[in-house]
Amino acid sequence: MSPDLFLPPGMAPEVLLGLLAASFGASFITAAFGIGGGVALLAVMATLVPPAVLIPVHGIVQVGSNVGRAAIMLRWISWPAMPAFAIGSAVGAALGGMLVVSISPALVQLGLGLFIIWSVVARPPRLMRRWSAVTGAISSFLTMFFGATGLFVATYTKALELERHGHVATHAALMTVQHAVKTVAFGLLGFAFGPWLPFVAAMIAAGFAGTVAGRQVLTRLGDPRFKIALNTVLFLLAARLIWSGSSQLLAGTG
């Protein structure tokens, strides 16, 4: 099958191959360590995909990636959190789609990074475990502008105190809901997904292969090492958010 079948408008074949490799690696990271792949993939896509399509296309790719991860780990999903989170996500995405806000992206990155580090060093606030609808609303509102809020949702999932398979599976299910709601919102706002669907399908297939490989690592880690790996990845990604936000503010571009 020719790679040209999966090329969206204006994309070179070598760029497609690079993005497929990035999708595999991103899903591998998330399946193995619980978080990090979505942010990594967004960072790669931001350099290779037109800005106008970045957030909606990344969102629909993440729907497929998280569906695959949730499907192969279905028995470990913690279902009680899902209904309220889904309702909150719908409300947050609707508000994000309707409101024209002047929130500085740099401040969002800085605040989110500081919050995540606090949740790693201390314990995630109990309110996050009790108010899943609020978590869904805030994260879905932010994801309409920021793109990858899996870190925020991972902090909520961490507060549920699940074992490693439960954490990865539940986080995948929650992110499926959030990215699906976001995709619907962008569709209603008029984004044309059609020309990008073959590319999206190829990215999802590469991501599923990464998920299968990453789950093997997850199985071997054990809960103590998984928690160390999760906290390390959260801390490093939060530090990157803080650095990026601070740099933009100091440069006057945030």
Nearest to 24 by CA among 52, 61, 73, 77: 61
Nearest to 45 by CA among 66, 25, 70: 25
Residue 3 lies in a domain: no
At 188, which amino acid appears?
A: L
Structure tokens at 145: 């502008």
Residue 237 lies in a domain: yes
Residue 212 lies in a domain: yes
Which pLDDT belongs to residue 67?
A: 94
Q: What is the pLDDT of residues 156-186, one digit of tens each?
A: 888 788 898 999 999 999 989 888 888 888 8
Which pLDDT belongs to residue 3?
A: 58
Residue 130 lies in a domain: yes
Residue 5 lies in a domain: no
Enumerate helices (H) and strands (E) in the chain, giving the number of each: 11, 0
The pTM of the full predicted model, rounded to 2 decimals, is 0.78
Residue 254 lies in a domain: no
Which pLDDT belongs to residue 76?
A: 94
Q: What is the pLDDT of residues 206-222, one digit of tens each?
A: 999 999 999 998 888 88
Please tell me the total count of domains within the chain.
Answer: 1
Residue 215 lies in a domain: yes
Query: Is residue 100 very low, low, confident or very high in pLDDT (cuts 50, 70, 90)?
Result: very low
Asked if residue 167 lies in contact with residue 231, where contact means CB atoms within 8 angstroms, the answer is: no
Alpha carbon distances (Å) from 145 to 85, 109, 122, 204: 19, 11, 28, 22
State the Cα–Cα distance between residues 240 and 207, nearest whole angstrom.
24
Domain range for 213 is 10-249
User: Taking residues 144-158, what's their average pLDDT?
Assistant: 72
Residue 2 lies in a domain: no
User: Taking residues 35-43, what's their average pLDDT?
Assistant: 79
